[in-house]
Chain A
Amino acid sequence: MTITPAPPPLLELEHVDAGYGPFHAIFDVSFAVEAGRVLTLLGANGAGKTTIARVCSGLVVPTKGSVRFAGEELAGKPAYVYARRGIVHAPEGRSVFASLSVEENLHLALGRGRDKADVARRVSRAYELFPRLGERRRQLAGTLSGGEQRMLSLSRVMVDEPRLLIADELSLGLAPIIVDEVYATLATIRDAGTTLLIIEQHVDHALGIADDALLLAQGEISERGDALQMRAAVQRMLTNQ
């Protein structure tokens, strides 16, 4: 009888330090995300959540430690290698190409390695999700309102079918009703088996969808556990404050 070794976690960070030039933002961060699970990063402003997301997508190169994706070491490699392995990162804030039209933004995001029919189908799907984008497909993305720009960056995430989706502050700048829709779509993506890494200030939304959670403070992981435990921890923290 042969024993099949357990597959490696989809994403694994080990003893990662990272920052911006002389400024260190995260210290000795280690965690793993199993395929198909949802991990949320919680913490106050400046806790290091966005830096971790950037390390996971290759935007920030760690000064120490390793970043493995499906067992492959990716630390130090450029961000496009991460993207080509199936990691999609929706950064916080305006993350669209302002000088390209709505349609060009979608083609750029969805075009690589796919045939034209597939791209067209996905672009149509994006317009179904956010009809307003369809109405403005020829408009330059920079001339859209803040909420519409956020919709555009989300739409590519929603229809890209990545292996790992990193969503940084999804609810920022969106109307509550749209935030609910976005989280409903995220739940659908999760149910389809996509692994999610969610960074969110809106604790209820994040813990509502997550399996596991990490609480960050001053660049270090201060608590970790499943979503239920973390909800209790956050509650305790708020009560103590």
Chain B
Amino acid sequence: MDNFFGGLTDGVAYGAVYALLAIGLVLAYKTSGVFNIAFGVQAYASGALYYTLHTSHDVAIIPAFIVSVVLLAPLIGVILDRLLFRFLRSAPEMSRLVVALGLLVAIPGIVQLKFDQTLAISSQGIVPHGDTVYNIGPAVLNRDQLAIIVTTAIVALAVIVLFRYTAVGLRMRAVVESSRMAELNGVNSDRVSMLSWVLTSFVAGLAGVLLPQITGNQVVDVYYTTLVTAAIVAAVLASLTSVPLALAAGIGLGVLQEWLNRFLPTNSVVASNIRPGLPFIALFLVLALDPRLRHRRGTTDPLANVDPPPPAPVAGTRSSELTWGTRIFWCVIGAIYLYYVFFHGNDSVLDDAIRIAIYAIIFCSIVVATGLAGQVSFAQATFAGIGGAVSAQLATQQGMSVILTILIGALVAGVVGMVVSIPALRLGGIFLTLFTFAFALAFENVFLKFGWITGGIFPEAEPRPQLGSVDFANNKSFLALCLVVLVLVSAGVVLVRGGTTGRFLDAVRGSQVAAASIGISATRARIVTFGLSAAIAGLGGGLLTSYEGHYTPTNWATFVGLFWVVIVVTLGPRTIEGALQAAFGFILFAKRVLPVWLPWLINHIQPFGHVGTLPAAVQYIFFGLGAVTYAKHPEGILEANKRKPMQKIQALIDRRRSSGEPPETATSGAAPA
């Protein structure tokens, strides 16, 4: 009985945190139309400032609270609104999600430029003497827990009143659906939108100073993000719209988790594997089974056609001469690079090249899922990991040919991708992406704890592939193998893009209803694409596992996969060129650009002060901020920035061509005017 009540009270306190975060997500979604996956890192920014002021510099609680929650949090909201989301009001829901994903990556980087989170280990709460315990009937709660419960209750009540009884709540919902229609009704949508972001950011700030009390007094970005990820299940149970449901679901989840903690036998598989993954399993099941979410589509702005149509991709507008010229140019550059790698590069350069080739293959899977099918999948790292795990286990435990195991790994990943896509396809918009996210997190938290998948703590070494008499144990020959696979995968992706499936996917992306009316099955096209995409990721996963000699779970962590999406989306999600650029960026940025190239450049162009290695956070800021441009440039920044130079070159070619041609009158035979 003690366990029951103890679990209930602790669960309510813990669940109040989930509820607060879930209400924050619902509030953000209802007032800004953004599924703010960066909500946790916004909270982290306030938590970090509060820690710095109160714990590190002994600033009193109230001024520290005012600066970090009342001032900083809304300021972040104003900045996000004015610099980003104001311009994305009529952008598709998925574009806004990708922008939020960019922020998820960039904000911790920005915070960590000034804040060393490894030292933030003894955060103090916003309540004096927070560990003072009260006995309320059978419940035992400390002041920190009470503060969380009371704050959550107040926020829930305030948000319910805002939406049900105030004109500003009505205007916020109207602006989310169509800012232009709202303006036709006399609503200043810029002001309303800014107010929405101020409000949601304030709630994030509140959460930021409350959360360290339940994360072991630590202020670490991953803890915040993980808590928000768990809170997503409560927000989804509330269909991203109902605050009372989000409150109930959050608290219910907290209580359930505490009861499992207390009643499940320790050392059981369920306790060690299922319990930590409970929120993610719950999210997976809710998304798969909740009938309210089936085929739910976001509302569209009836005045969206006031926006100019997006520009055509550069590749589609240039002449065949320019296309061939570009291809030859890049082939020459590639040949020079490979010549250097094969004949003059040291081991480190060779290692870079192999990883670039493998990640380019993996990133081609994102090109298929996002660039062709228009779906943002957060599970690409998981699919790659499945390919790697299958390959490693078959090669080491069954002694099968490594080449064969890599192919089987890709096949298994493809089948898993197809199976996952079947329930996911009934979901629309961001729920589909969340489903891939839930799958990835559930897989990571449940299955990757089994030794028969990962090979245990000290996995047996996986050999390199061998094909007949050709042994790929040598790094140069392994690079050649990776390049061949990359060429084959690239050719496959190009064929799919230009073929029937590609056209079908284009049609489905344009209008699913219109596509269905001419007999195109969106379901079939997407299952094929998901399967293909997962298989390509699995192929890359198998190659990397073979190259490294063992299965490394951290290579395939879900949040690593999120960064992949960010980097590919930044550099070009629709082209093989984009995948290659992303692979170069992913490998070289951390290894060469930040520690060597950028400092060298900075030290040569300015005479003041020597700059050493730049912090790794710069990489996240760079690509995170790059991804926030996705809504404006869905073809990627590089592709977008190529447009003007390409148009100039094309104009030059056209001028030359026209000056070389005889006058039109002579060819047409028309009489002069």
A binding-site residues for B, Cβ under 8 Å: 20-23, 54, 57-60, 78-80, 83-84, 88-89, 91, 93-100, 104, 107-109, 111-113, 142
B309 at interface, CB cutoff 8 A? yes
Given the known A-B contacts A20-B308, A108-B171, A108-B174, are A79 and B302 also in contact in the complex, defined by CB atoms under 8 Å? no
- Contact among A23, A88, A93, A100 with B173 in the assembled complex (CB-CB below 8 Å): A100
Given the known A-B contacts A91-B303, A99-B177, A108-B174, are A84 and B186 also in contact in the complex, defined by CB atoms under 8 Å? yes
- Shortest Cβ gap from B594 to chain A (Å): 38
Query: What 5 pairs between A and B have smallest CB-CB spacing?
Result: A21-B308, A79-B183, A83-B186, A20-B308, A80-B183
A89 to B302, CA, bound (A): 14
Known: A59-B303, A91-B184. 11 other contacts (CB 8 A): A21-B307, A57-B184, A58-B183, A80-B184, A84-B186, A94-B302, A97-B173, A98-B177, A104-B173, A107-B167, A142-B299
- Shortest Cβ gap from B251 to chain A (Å): 27
- Closest B residue by C-beta to A88: B184
Q: At the interface, is chain B mostly helix, strand, loop or mixed?
A: helix
Return chain B residues, CB-CB under 8 Å to A54.
Answer: 306
Q: Is the CB of B173 within 8 A of A78?
A: no
Return chain A residues, CB-CB under 8 Å to B185.
Answer: 80, 83, 108-109, 112
A59 to B189, CA, bound (A): 13
- Closest A residue by C-beta to B241: A99
- Contact among A20, A22, A80, A93 with B302 in the assembled complex (CB-CB below 8 Å): A93
- Closest B residue by C-beta to A21: B308
Return chain B residues, CB-CB under 8 Å to A78.
Answer: 183, 188-190
A109 to B180, CA, bound (A): 13
A111 to B182, CA, bound (A): 12
- Shortest Cβ gap from B662 to chain A (Å): 31
Pick from B181, B186, B309 the residue with the most CB of A within 10 Å.
B186
Interface range, B side:
20 to 34
Given the known A-B contacts A21-B308, A23-B308, A78-B188, are A91 and B302 also in contact in the complex, defined by CB atoms under 8 Å? yes
- Closest B residue by C-beta to A109: B185
A22 to B184, CA, bound (A): 24
Return chain B residues, CB-CB under 8 Å to A97.
Answer: 173-174, 177-178, 181
Given the known A-B contacts A59-B303, A91-B302, A104-B170, are A83 and B183 also in contact in the complex, defined by CB atoms under 8 Å? yes
Q: Is the CB of A80 within 8 A of B308?
A: no
A23 to B306, CA, bound (A): 12
Q: Is the CB of B303 within 8 A of A100?
A: no
- Contact among B181, B187, B188, B308 with A22 in the assembled complex (CB-CB below 8 Å): B308
A78 to B190, CA, bound (A): 10
- Shortest Cβ gap from B31 to chain A (Å): 12
Q: Is the CB of B309 within 8 A of A21?
A: yes
A54 to B188, CA, bound (A): 17
Q: Is the CB of B299 within 8 A of A107?
A: no
A79 to B181, CA, bound (A): 9
Return chain B residues, CB-CB under 8 Å to A84.
Answer: 186
Return chain B residues, CB-CB under 8 Å to A111.
Answer: 167, 170
Return chain A residues, CB-CB under 8 Å to B174.
Answer: 97, 100, 108
- Shortest Cβ gap from A125 to chain B (Å): 17
Given the known A-B contacts A100-B170, A111-B167, are A80 and B186 also in contact in the complex, defined by CB atoms under 8 Å? yes
- Closest A residue by C-beta to B180: A59
B binding-site residues for A, Cβ under 8 Å: 167, 170-171, 173-174, 176-178, 180-190, 299, 302-303, 306-309
Pick from A79, A91, A112 the residue with the most CB of B within 10 Å.
A79
Q: Is the CB of A89 within 8 A of B184?
A: yes
- Closest B residue by C-beta to A112: B186
A88 to B186, CA, bound (A): 9
Q: Is the CB of B170 within 8 A of A79?
A: no
A96 to B315, CA, bound (A): 39
Return chain B residues, CB-CB under 8 Å to A104.
Answer: 170, 173
A188 to B75, CA, bound (A): 50
- Closest B residue by C-beta to A98: B299
Q: Is the CB of A20 within 8 A of B307?
A: yes
A21 to B310, CA, bound (A): 9
A80 to B193, CA, bound (A): 14
- Shortest Cβ gap from B460 to chain A (Å): 56
A68 to B95, CA, bound (A): 37
Return chain B residues, CB-CB under 8 Å to A93.
Answer: 302
- Closest A residue by C-beta to B189: A80
Return chain A residues, CB-CB under 8 Å to B308.
Answer: 20-23
- Closest B residue by C-beta to A90: B184
A36 to B183, CA, bound (A): 24
A83 to B179, CA, bound (A): 13
- Closest A residue by C-beta to B176: A99
27 A-B residue pairs with CB within 8 Å: A23-B308, A58-B183, A59-B180, A59-B303, A78-B183, A78-B189, A79-B180, A80-B182, A80-B184, A80-B186, A80-B187, A83-B186, A84-B186, A88-B184, A91-B181, A91-B302, A93-B302, A95-B302, A98-B299, A100-B173, A104-B170, A107-B167, A108-B170, A108-B171, A108-B182, A108-B185, A113-B186
A96 to B182, CA, bound (A): 10
A60 to B308, CA, bound (A): 11
- Shortest Cβ gap from A46 to chain B (Å): 13
Return chain B residues, CB-CB under 8 Å to A98.
Answer: 177, 299
- Closest A residue by C-beta to B298: A99
A95 to B301, CA, bound (A): 9
Q: Is the CB of B187 within 8 A of A112?
A: yes
- Closest B residue by C-beta to A105: B174
A59 to B181, CA, bound (A): 9
A189 to B124, CA, bound (A): 66
A95 to B183, CA, bound (A): 12
A22 to B181, CA, bound (A): 23
Given the known A-B contacts A23-B308, A78-B190, A80-B189, are A59 and B184 also in contact in the complex, defined by CB atoms under 8 Å? yes
A142 to B178, CA, bound (A): 13
- Closest A residue by C-beta to B184: A89
A34 to B303, CA, bound (A): 28
Q: Is the CB of B173 within 8 A of A99?
A: yes
- Closest B residue by C-beta to A94: B302
- Closest A residue by C-beta to B187: A80
- Contact among A58, A80, A88 with B188 in the assembled complex (CB-CB below 8 Å): A80
- Closest B residue by C-beta to A156: B185
Pick from B174, B185, B303 the residue with the most CB of A within 10 Å.
B185
Q: Is the CB of A20 within 8 A of B299?
A: no
- Shortest Cβ gap from B669 to chain A (Å): 29
Return chain B residues, CB-CB under 8 Å to A83.
Answer: 183-186
Return chain A residues, CB-CB under 8 Å to B309.
Answer: 20-21, 23
